[in-house]
Each structure stands twice: as C-alpha cells, then as structure tokens.
Structure 1
Amino acid sequence: MKRRDFLKTTGVASMTMLLPNFLKALEFSPSLKGHKKLVIIQLSGGNDGLNTVIPYENDLYYKNRPTLGIGKNEVLKITDELGLHPSMKGMEKLFEKGYVSILNNIGYPNPNRSHFRAMDIWHTASDSDKYLDSGWLGRYLDSNCQSSHEVLEIDTTLSLALKGDAKNALALKNPNSLYQLTKEHYFDSLLRNTSDEMLSEDNLGYLYKTLVETKSSAKYIFNTSKTYESKTEFPKTDIGQKLETTAELINSGLDTSVYYVSTTGFDTHAFQQKQQEKLLGNYSDAMLSFVEELKKGNNFKDTLIVTFSEFGRRLAENGSRGTDHGTAGPMFVISENLSKNGIFNEAPDLVNLDGNKDIKYHLDFRQVYATVLDKWLKVDSSKILNNNFQHLDFI
C-alpha cells in the first residue's frame, strides 16, 4: 500500500505527513497578525439557491413554486429584482454595509446531481468526468505551507478538500480537545516505543512523523489560542460554535491561512420551508457575529469568507413541498475590501433552462477558486487547479 493511501485509510488521516526532523517536535513561528486568511463555509446537502437569493419580480419563480415561493412582501429586498430569504437579516446587514458580493449561477460543465460526486468535484476542483485523490486546499498545503496547522478544518473529521498528495491539513473541534488527546498515555507511549527498525518501514515511519507533528501542532494551537477569548455573543448552534472557534483562532494570531467550516441539513426534498428558514437563519446570524468578532480583533480587513453548496435545487417544487437536486446556485463572498460588492452578475435565467429543466451555470466555481488563490493568497492557482481559469473581479 502506498504511504498516501495508508494514511488516508487510518485514523490519522486528518494530520500532515512531512516533518523536517521527526526525532523532535517542531518549533513553530510566533503568532502572526495581518496575514491574509481565507474562510470557506460549506452548506452541505445542496442549498436551494432560488429561495436564498430570490428573484421576487420573476413570475416564473412563483408559477413553479406555488407553495414554496417567498412572497414579495416577505423578501428582504436588496435590489429591484433580487432579495434575500426573510430569515437572513444578519446577511442583509452585512450586504447594506458593502461587505457582501453575491455570485449567481455558479456551477460547472456537465453537472452531477449526486451529493457525493458533486461534493467531490467541488472539493477536488476536477472536471465532472475526472477523479482526483487530493483536494484543492490540500494541494495548496502541499505546495505553499510548512505545517499542517496552516490549513485547519473546524470539525472532528477532515474533508477531501483539505487532503493533499504529500500532506494533509488538521481537523479539530476545539484546541483544548486536540491538545488533551495528544497528552494521553497511549499517544506518548507510541512515540517512545517506536524503534529505528520500525521507522525504516515506509508506512510506520510516516505514521510516526505524523504523530510527532500533530503533537507539536496541537501544543502550538492550544498555547496560542488560549491568549484570546471571544468578545461577541455567538448563536448556540453548530455553525455558530464553529465560527466562534474560528474567530478566536484568527484573533489569537495563529499563523493559519485557511479555515474550513461545514454545516449540514440542506437536502430539502420535503417540507422545505421551515427547515431552510432555520438553516439560513442559523448561517446568517452566525455570519453577522463572526464579522463583528473579526472586526473587534482588527482582522476582518485581512479575512475573505466564501460560502458554497454542492449544487442548487430544481426550479419547480416537487409534490412533497420540497425541491429536488438541481445544478447552479449562488455563492456568497464576504470581506471588508471587495472590489465589487452587491450583486456580482445577472440573476438566474428561469426561461432558458437546460435539458433537465435546471438553471444553467454562467460562472465556473473554479474561477472563484483561481481568483482566491492568485489574488488573495498570492499563490499560483494553475499549479493547484491543474488548469488556468479566468479571474473574477470581486477582489
């Protein structure tokens, strides 16, 4: 078995694999202020974009959604044509301050409507007919970072997006839990009892290096993050608590460039109205708190936030007062210094649909990735995305 395959199938798949000198713990650089941070937020399940960014002046929207269509008097109107779901008052406030750019009709050629395959495509930045083992942020980690903690997922498991060809990012729910885990007796025992003969074996040697760096990273993250505590009240929800942890890590000065957060529940095949209302409200409220906290730490100006879902939903509602898997949908880009805020591009075309009566994509999601990599993180996107994609001018 190859080293990379071995580590991806073990319980330490969320840890990196390279260490300059694995016979002692790594010493990391002091905490940093002012470096660029990227926060990716994943709305898992295929969020219904048409009831998120609502074309409230389009009669076809209401014709196809006789029970699910959001009434004109309920929509949070942000233009003469489009409005936000009424539960998204936090996002409306950010929009009014000029902090939001809404990118409509995001997708890719030959879309896939399977959750697993569609998410793999977004995670790996591959064509729909190509299969990759590494994610786009994992490849960023491979080529531009020294240590696993420079790319973090705020969760207990690691997404494919953050798994590289040479090393993986680190997943943690909170710094203290990870740190305490590395202090367990079996962890130190394994490190002490690893012999030179074992280290010469390909897989075991790499596993040992992974454990050593994880222990060092956990200590660094814990010691750095404990210097700062959030000053903002966050919602007591999954997304709220994850974003509070993220804000504390950023404001503590951790030298992490990329944070990844996901929240689930957006697969709304039945009785969508209440479910999506709650989910979008949770996301919107948490995002408002997140921005407020970053501003208190003077870090919002150096942070770019990008929100996506693996696909949108069908134009027409189904017979269960829900919506089925579709294709293109909106993305939210949030920052203090956007070069183009507001509605970035045209509203969804509800007349010229594809052969499955779904919305056609107008912008490739990899254009967003390329823009973020080249213009925000200042790295060569072509080497990470394995292709050249045209930039978009939101930053």
Structure 2
Amino acid sequence: MDRRKFLKNSALASSLFFVPNFVKAFESVASERLGYKRLVIVQLAGGNDGLNTIIPYNNDLYYNARPKLAITKDIIKLNDDLGFHPSLSPLRALFDNGELSIINNVGYPNPVRSHFRSMDIWQTASGSDEYLQSGWLGRYLDQHGKKPYNAIEIDEQLSLAMKGEHFNGIATNDFKVLYNSAKDPYFQNILSHYNDTHLSEHNLGYLYQTMIEAKSSASYIFENTDVKTSQETYPQNAFAKQLKNVAQFINSGLDTKVFYTSLGGFDTHANQNNKQTKLLSQYAESVSAFVSDLKRNDTFKDTLILTFSEFGRRVKQNAANGTDHGAANNVFVIGKDLKKAGFYNNLASLNDLDSNGDIKYNVDFRSVYATILSKWMDVSVDGIIPNEQEQLNFI
C-alpha cells in the first residue's frame, strides 16, 4: 500500500487525527527559496450572481430578463456600460486607483452546474471531463514548498485546492488553538515513540514524520506571528476575521506564500436581492479593510488577491425571485501596479447566450491561474496547470 492510501485508510491514522486537520500529508520535495510575493484567494462559495455584481446598467436585455431582480438604484457607474452593485462601494477607491482588474466571462468548456463538481474543477484546474485528486495550489506546493505553513487556509478543513500529491498546506482558523493542540499530552506521547524501531519504518515512519512536521509548523506560526493589536478597524463578521488573520500573518513576515479564505451563502435560488446585498457588503467592506491594513504595513505591494466563485447564475430570473445555476462569471484581481486595471474585457453579449440561457465564457479560468503562477509567483506552470493555457496581461 502506498503512503497516500495508507494515510487515507489506516485505522491508526484515523485515531491519531483527533487533533485539528493540520495533520496532513507532508513531504519535502524542493529546497529552493520561495519568492517574496504572496497570493490570497477569496472563494465566494455557492455561485455568486456576477450579473448583479457587475451590472450592465444600459442594457435592456438585462432588465427584461430580470423584471424584479435587476438592480435599478444606486448603481456605482464605472464606465458607460458597467457598474458595481451598490454594496461594492468600498471597492470604488481600488478601481479608481488602478488596483482592481475585473475579468469578465471567465469559465471553461462544457460547464458543470453542480456546486461540488464545479468547485472541484476550479480547485483542481481540471477539465469538465477530468477528475484530479490534487489541487492547483497543492501542485504548486509539491514543486516549490518546503513546509506546510508555506500555504495556510483560514478554516478547520483543507480545501482540495491546497492538497498536492506529496505536499499539503495547513488549515487553521486560530493559530493559538493549533499550537495548543500540538502540545496536547496524548499527541506528545505518540510522538515520543517515533524512535521505536518498529514504528519508524515504512508507512508508520512516514505518518510520524508527517505529525512531526505538523507540530513544527504549529510552533513556527505561533512563535513568529506578531500578536499586537491591528490598527485597522475590520467589520464584525466571520469573513473579515479570516482576512484579519491573513493580514496578521502577512504583516508578521511569515514564510507563507498562499492564503486561502472563503465566504459562503451565494446559492441564491430565492429572494436573492437581500441575501446578495448583505454578502457583497461583507465582502467589499472586509476586503477594503484588509487592503488598508496591508498598505499601512507596506505589504500590499507584494500581495495579490484573487476572488472567484464556482459559477455564475442564469441570466433570466426564476419564479422565486432568485437565479439558478449558470456558467461564466467575473473574477476580481486586486493588487498594486496591475498592467490592465479596470475592466480587462467587455461583458459577453446578452443576446448570444448558450443553450441553457447562460453567459458564454471566453476566458478560461486556468489562464488566470497560469498567469498568476508565471507572472506573479514567478514559477513554471508545467506540472501545475494541465494543458497549455494562454497567458493574460492583467499583471
């Protein structure tokens, strides 16, 4: 049995993993020093309605398709055709400063409208007919990671995106709890037996080495994170807390290159307007505070923020004043000195939808990933992003 199957199937492994999910498979496969630039991922889980996020306010087809859902008041006009949902007003300064690039019509061929399957596709960078067991960020770690803390997800469980073939990131929503769990007497007692001959061979030895690396990562994060009170005021919501933790890690100078966060609740089949208004407010207010925190500490210049959702919504509203699962969507990229800020491309035609009534994609999401890896993280995409992808020009 190979190591990955052993870790998945072993009863001993299951009994040891009562401590938090930071106990993940680890194997050092690279020794080069990582670059200084950081990537922050924001996942809008559930399928955010991109058409009410970036609004074609001069398009009659938009209003005809959504007699009750179309946004008609307080639209933040960004050019002659497109504008922000009113809840995104905190992002207006980023747009005006050239620190936000909005990529429209992002998707992939033969789109899948299942939450779980589409999220797997986005997280693994697979095609719609491929099933990969590792994530695109996990494969980045396989090639360029040194320690589990090189990639941190602010959650209790690790997303597929952060799992590699040999190397995983680390998941925690409270680094102090992570550290205290690693000090648990039972956990310590298990590790004390690592040098036993019968335990240090083959799969058990690998398992124990994994646990040792996890404990070391917990200690590193705890000992190197500056716990001084942030001077930035964040909104009082769970997503803002995630970003505040990320800012604390970044501003402390941790050797972490990838951070993963998420905001859920975007599956708006019914009564969409109130739900999306609240969620977009949380997103925009939290991201604005996060960027301000980084700028205050001179770390924004080395940070890129990518926001995506697993699919958009149907152009036509449904009978419950909501929208059903769609396909192509917009992606937000936030950073300093973007090559093409504002709107990277125009919104696809609402008069030429696919057979399901969805906006057609013309930018493959894997091109976005490939561009970030190549032009921002300064690494080859070979072995990370399957198939050759076009390089975009937003960074």
* TM > 0.5: yes
Partner of 1:312: 312
Partner of 2:25: 17
Q: CA deviation at 1:17?
A: 3.2
Distance 1:169 1:196 in 2: 29
Gaps of 5+ in 2: none
Distance 2:291 2:200 in 1: 46
1:130-164: CA deviations, max 9, x gaps? 00000000000000111110011011100000000
Partner of 1:241: 241
Q: CA deviation at 1:2?
A: 3.2
Q: Percent identity?
A: 50
Distance 1:8 1:240 in 2: 33
Partner of 1:255: 255
Q: Does 1:84 align with 2:89?
A: no
Distance 1:93 1:232 in 2: 17
Distance 2:227 2:323 in 1: 46
Q: Does 1:359 align with 2:366?
A: no
- Relative distance call for 1:19 and 1:143 in structure 2 (3 A) is closer
Q: CA deviation at 1:348?
A: 2.8
Distance 2:6 2:74 in 1: 53
Q: Which amino acid aligns with 1:5?
A: K
Return the TM-score normalized by structure 1.
0.94
Question: How many positions carry a matched residue from both structures?
Answer: 382
1:355-390: CA deviations, max 9, x gaps? 111110010000000000000001111221132211
Return the TM-score normalized by structure 2.
0.94
Q: Which amino acid aligns with 2:51?
A: L
Q: Which amino acid aligns with 1:50?
A: L
Partner of 2:230: 230
Distance 1:172 1:8 in 2: 20
Q: CA deviation at 1:347?
A: 1.3
- Relative distance call for 1:365 and 1:19 in structure 2 (3 A) is closer
Partner of 2:193: 193
Q: Does 1:161 align with 2:191?
A: no
Partner of 2:343: 343
Q: CA deviation at 1:95?
A: 1.0
Q: Which amino acid aligns with 2:82?
A: L
- Relative distance call for 1:207 and 1:340 in structure 2 (3 A) is same
Q: Which amino acid aligns with 1:185?
A: P
**3-state SS of paired residue (2:262):** strand
- Relative distance call for 1:85 and 1:6 in structure 2 (3 A) is farther
Distance 2:129 2:22 in 1: 26
1:88-237 aligned at under 5 Å gives the runs 88-194=88-194, 195-202=196-203, 204-226=204-226, 228-237=228-237
Distance 2:8 2:136 in 1: 16
- Relative distance call for 1:6 and 1:238 in structure 2 (3 A) is farther
Partner of 1:26: none
Q: CA deviation at 1:97?
A: 1.6
Partner of 2:68: 67
Instruction: Kindly indicate whether the alpha-carbon contact (under 8 Å) linking 1:15 and 1:148 is maintained by their aligned counterparts in 2.
Output: no
**3-state SS of paired residue (2:384):** helix
Q: CA deviation at 1:92?
A: 1.6
Distance 1:13 1:205 in 2: 19
Partner of 1:271: 271
Distance 1:384 1:308 in 2: 19
Deviates further, 229-238 or 135-144: 229-238
Partner of 2:41: 40
Distance 2:8 2:120 in 1: 15
Q: Which amino acid aligns with 1:54?
A: I
Q: CA deviation at 1:229?
A: 3.7
Distance 1:191 1:83 in 2: 56
Distance 2:296 2:114 in 1: 41
Q: CA deviation at 1:230?
A: 1.8
- Relative distance call for 1:86 and 1:134 in structure 2 (3 A) is same
Instruction: Kindly indicate whether the alpha-carbon contact (under 8 Å) linking 1:234 and 1:286 is maintained by their aligned counterparts in 2.
Output: yes
Instruction: Kindly indicate whether the alpha-carbon contact (under 8 Å) linking 2:75 and 2:83 is maintained by their aligned counterparts in 1.
Output: yes
Distance 2:276 2:192 in 1: 50
Deviates further, 90-99 or 263-272: 90-99
**3-state SS of paired residue (2:40):** strand
1:81-105: CA deviations, max 9, x gaps? 0001111111122112211000000
Q: CA deviation at 1:283?
A: 0.3
1:283-322 aligned at under 5 Å gives the runs 283-322=283-322
Distance 1:256 1:320 in 2: 44
Distance 1:228 1:309 in 2: 33
Distance 1:5 1:77 in 2: 53
**3-state SS of paired residue (1:389):** coil
